[in-house]
Amino acid sequence: MDSAVTLCVLGCALLCPALLAEQEVENLSGLSPNPERDIFVVRENGTTCLMAEFAVRFLIPFDVLALNGIDLITEQASLALPRGARIEGQCGSSEAELHISWTNGAYTLRLFFIKEKRTMGSDGKAKETEVWKMNKVQLVYDTSETSHFINAYNPGKHTASTHRLSALVTPGGRSYVCTAQQTLTLISTDHQKGITVYMSEIQIQPFDIKSDFVFSEPYKCITDQRERLEETLPLVLGLILGLVIVITITIYHFHLKLTASQPQLPRDRSLYKNM
């Protein structure tokens, strides 16, 4: 029995490396013309399986000791994701992850994605469709990192996470695009403090990328669609108003010409006898 188990374990050890997908990660932030926007790529077996571009910054509250040496006051650390961060990633058929670390591991941002089926329908007809979304964001930070946390009280590592997140919901096979700022709130293990994450200039696709290093068809966020409508609406209204004015002037000139070509009746009734 022991020999059979040994053979099975040895067989699995030989086969498993061949079954595992080879994954590699690349930080391409240097290619972005926007110094605040970062580009991350996860590739599997030589093909892109996850791409993410975004600008992100964090607002992190932390405690410092007051001047009286007794009370605690709350300060705010504001920091952004720097270029050259170290990344790790995992791709799967229904789950994917992107981990970004910087400042010698003092900070780690983790983004989690899932793909699921949703039942949607109208007129009593249900239709199943596939979507993906970001279902969790986690930030690990170290308040003993003195460049942002100055005189932090009881410094150490903390973890902040979202709760029941359902963000960036996107139809399957498409990339999520949003220029507008997206705000997330994470709850920290540091006395339940609220960490604010600001993301903007976003384009993300964690599943079903058809071409290497190329996003699939974009799906624009509602905020961008609304802002675009607000930008184009004045132009459309201006064109309509201009068209109404042109039509009104044209009708007025046509009316004047029509009136001028008709015979004028004398205003003095005594002249009617001579007509």
Higher confidence at residue 218 or residue 11? 218
Q: What is the dihedral of CA 33, 35, 37, 41, to 10 degrees?
A: 70
Instruction: Measure CA of the first residue to CA of the last residue in the chain; give whole Å.
Output: 132
85-141 pLDDT per residue, tens = 999 999 999 999 999 999 999 999 999 999 999 876 656 577 889 999 999 999 999
219's CB contacts (< 8 A; 6+ apart) are 170, 171, 174, 175, 176, 177
Mean pLDDT throughout 243-272? 66
Share the mean pLDDT of the chain: 84
Q: CB–CB of 111/184 below 8 Å?
A: no
Give dist(CA 97, CA 90) in Å, integer.
5
pLDDT at position 249: 76
142: enclosing H helix or E strand: strand 125-142
Q: Which of 59, 61, 82, 58 is nearest to 73 (CA)?
A: 61
Give dist(CA 168, CA 182) in Å, integer.
9
161: enclosing H helix or E strand: strand 157-161
Taking the model in full, what pTM does it have? 0.74
CATH architecture of the region 19-220: Beta Barrel (2.40)
Q: CB–CB of 115/131 below 8 Å?
A: yes
3-state secondary structure of 83: coil
pLDDT of residue 46 exceeding 50, the answer is: yes
Higher confidence at residue 178 or residue 235? 178
